[in-house]
């Protein structure tokens, strides 16, 4: 049986006559040859040779006055906590004989990695690597698992994808190469960010932005479908991220509710770039077939090639249908039955949907790729009229600036980020020396984490999950629907789709008699 829409498949029509079905979640994994982090050299670079140590002091107030953003992305409580935790190794002998004291938080962590027995034990037990201490597991896949981790220098929570190197082959190694490259090259407010990549003898670690709200799939499974007012901003964020990728010749190829994550109750991010690829031109033919069967476009089953943007657009249509109905337009218990339903080309639209929503879904789910609505047409549709469409993140920089003479030439965000780094002990020369290592550097990883937090502080994002967003609207009340969050046990005659469906029931649900029959064009 199809495992609740979470069966992934990956096959190439040429060279294999069968469809390899891979059971699992979105954490497809692979490996890459990455340079290991050097510790002692960074410790020496982090010290101020003229005085022997980097003082744990903020930058002068005159410099702060030039920065309108909050200078530090870390609270005073966080810094004090870090200072207290590191006090037991403060001013201890250092590995570099020219350095007599260990005065900054950065130097203390470096010293711990080399000399602290408790830290060495954590490394040996797989509870820590670099500046990260692992916490509980939050996801699993065929070759990887995802854990919550804490960045010990900034005290920020991150998600770490841990890939088992012993289970990898050449194909999955190539996939990871692409995944890291994709995340490194893209910067959009609705895409998960990559902070750092590290490697041990047995594993590869991708440290990424943590989305505490979990998957869109889980929310829909637990609470039922969204009403249209709730679905509009969520769908616009996802579609804008896909549009941004296509503008830069990247194809995602695995868009589904399991790969959409909530960073706060109202904002989502698209993640899992394991199947993403970059093309030379946007209309380039692709012949590697990948993704999740319920979201697969018809051409993936019947042609020997396809256009990347078209399959992403189709998947967006499936996702929108799922968001506003609570079930899939094409159902089946096995991959062959799902394939048959998609190629048969018929689905039903419940009449409680607005005409504008039905028109948008029907315009996306057209059988012929060239007849499907474009992302620009989606944005201009009457259903999304007045809905904010997030644009490229022009503030966030994956790497620090190198070509400047005065700090005043930098953006306010980067000035604030660098001030916080200086406070922690990562001075300008050390930061500049790590630029070429990119995401393979723990210094650049720290830069990215602090910069991201600085931006979020400035815009007031990352709101708490203590209170869920409202799950009803006036439009629902006028249609006689009750709030999904109330969890009433009504049957299909009271409302459609039924609330609080189990995953199995939702996936096999048949549309009610109050529906509009659609054929793929």
For the record, the structure tokens of 45 come out as 């670079």
Q: Which helix (H) or strand (E) holds 162?
A: strand 156-164
In the chain the first and final C-alpha atoms are separated, in Å, by: 29
Residue 304 catalytic? no
| Distance (Å, whole) CA 342 – CA 334 | 13
Can you spell out the DSSP letters for 356-412? HHHHHHHHHS-SSGGGSPPHHHHHTSGGGTT-------SS--SS---S-SSGGGS-H
Of the candidates 8, 42, 103, 254, the residue annotated as catalytic is 254
> What is the sign, positive or negative, of the torsion defined by CA atoms of 267, 183, 439, 127?
positive
DSSP assignment of 494-507 equals TSSSPSS--HHHHH
Q: Are strands 288-291 and 203-209 parallel, antiparallel or unpaired?
A: unpaired
Nearest 5°: phi and psi at 56?
A: -85, 70
In whole angstroms, give the CA distance from residue 479 to residue 227.
11
Tokens of 171: 């194909």
Shortest CA distance to 320 belongs to which of 468, 246, 220?
Answer: 220
Q: Which tokens belong to 189?
A: 């407010």
161 labeled binding residue: yes
CA distances for 453 relative to 28, 68, 109, 186, 480, angstroms? 28, 15, 21, 18, 43
Pairing, β 267-270 against β 7-12? unpaired
Give the containing element (helix H, strand E) for 58. Answer: none
Would residue 386 be called left, alpha or beta, if left means φ above 0 and alpha means ψ between -120 and 50 degrees? left
User: What are the CA-CA distances from residue 108 to residues 89, 112, 119 (Å)?
Assistant: 7, 6, 12
User: From CA 236, how far away is CA 240, in angstroms rounded?
Assistant: 6
Other C-beta atoms within 10 Å of 178: how many?
18
Least Cα distance to 259 among 519, 516, 24 occurs for: 24
Q: What is the DSSP-derived secondary structure letter of residue 209?
A: E
Q: Which of 96, 134, 248 is closest to 181 using CA atoms?
A: 248
Give 15-21's long-range contacts (Cβ < 8 A, gap of 24+).
19/335, 21/335
C-beta separation of 238 from 295 below 8 A: no
Q: In this structure, are residues 244 and 337 in contact, taking their beta carbons and an 8 Å threshold?
A: no
Q: State both tokens at 237.
A: 């964020």
Q: Is 290 helix (H, G, I), strand (E, B) or coil?
A: strand
Q: Which residues are catalytic?
A: 254
Binding-site residue positions for ATP: 161
């Amino acid at each position: 049986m199809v495992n609740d829409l979470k069966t992934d498949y990956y096959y190439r029509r040429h060279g294999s006559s069968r469809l390899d079905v891979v059971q699992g979640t979105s954490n497809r994994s692979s490996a890459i040859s990455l340079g290991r982090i050097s510790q002692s050299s960074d410790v020496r670079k982090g010290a101020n040779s003229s005085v022997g140590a980097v003082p744990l002091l903020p930058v002068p107030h005159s410099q702060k006055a030039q920065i309108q953003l909050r200078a530090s992305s870390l609270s005073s409580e966080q810094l004090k906590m870090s200072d207290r935790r590191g006090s037991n190794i403060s001013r201890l002998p250092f590995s570099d004989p020219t350095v007599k004291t260990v005065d900054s938080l950065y130097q203390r962590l470096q010293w711990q990695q080399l000399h602290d027995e408790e830290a060495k034990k954590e490394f040996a037990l797989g509870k820590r690597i670099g500046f990260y201490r692992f916490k509980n597991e939050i996801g699993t896949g065929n070759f990887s698992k995802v854990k919550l981790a804490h960045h010990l220098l900034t005290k920020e929570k991150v998600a770490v994808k841990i890939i088992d190197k012993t289970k990898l082959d050449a194909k999955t190694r190539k996939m990871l190469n692409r995944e890291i490259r994709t995340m490194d090259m893209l910067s959009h407010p609705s895409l998960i960010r990559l902070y750092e990549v590290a490697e041990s003898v047995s594993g590869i670690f991708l440290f990424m932005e943590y989305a505490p709200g979990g998957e869109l799939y889980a929310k829909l499974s637990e609470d039922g479908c969204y009403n249209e007012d709730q679905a509009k901003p969520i769908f616009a964020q996802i579609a804008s991220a896909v549009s941004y990728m296509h503008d830069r010749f990247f194809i995602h190829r695995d868009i589904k509710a399991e790969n959409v994550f909530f960073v706060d109750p109202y904002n989502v991010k698209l993640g899992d770039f394991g199947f993403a690829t970059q093309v030379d031109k946007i209309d380039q033919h692709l012949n590697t077939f990948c993704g999740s069967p319920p979201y697969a476009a018809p051409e993936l089953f019947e042609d020997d090639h396809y256009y990347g943007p078209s399959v992403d657009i189709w998947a967006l249509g499936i996702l929108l249908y799922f968001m506003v109905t609570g079930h899939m337009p094409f159902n089946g218990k096995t991959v062959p039955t799902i394939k048959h339903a998609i190629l048969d080309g018929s689905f039903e639209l419940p009449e409680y949907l607005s005409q504008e929503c039905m028109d948008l879904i029907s315009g996306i789910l057209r059988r012929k790729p060239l007849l499907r609505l474009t992302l620009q047409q989606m944005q201009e549709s009457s259903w999304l009229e007045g809905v904010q469409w997030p644009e490229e993140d022009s503030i966030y920089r994956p790497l620090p600036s190198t070509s400047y003479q005065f700090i005043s030439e930098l953006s306010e965000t980067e000035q604030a980020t660098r001030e916080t780094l200086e406070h922690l002990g990562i001075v300008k020369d050390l930061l500049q020396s790590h630029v070429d290592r990119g995401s393979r550097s723990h210094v650049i990883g720290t830069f990215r984490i602090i910069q991201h937090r600085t931006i979020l502080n400035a815009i007031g994002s990352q709101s708490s999950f203590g209170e869920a967003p409202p799950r009803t609207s006036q439009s629902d009340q006028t249609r006689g629907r009750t709030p999904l969050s109330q969890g009433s046990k009504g049957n299909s005659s009271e409302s459609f789709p039924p609330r609080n469906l189990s995953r199995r029931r939702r996936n096999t649900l048949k549309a009610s008699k109050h529906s509009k029959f659609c054929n793929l064009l």
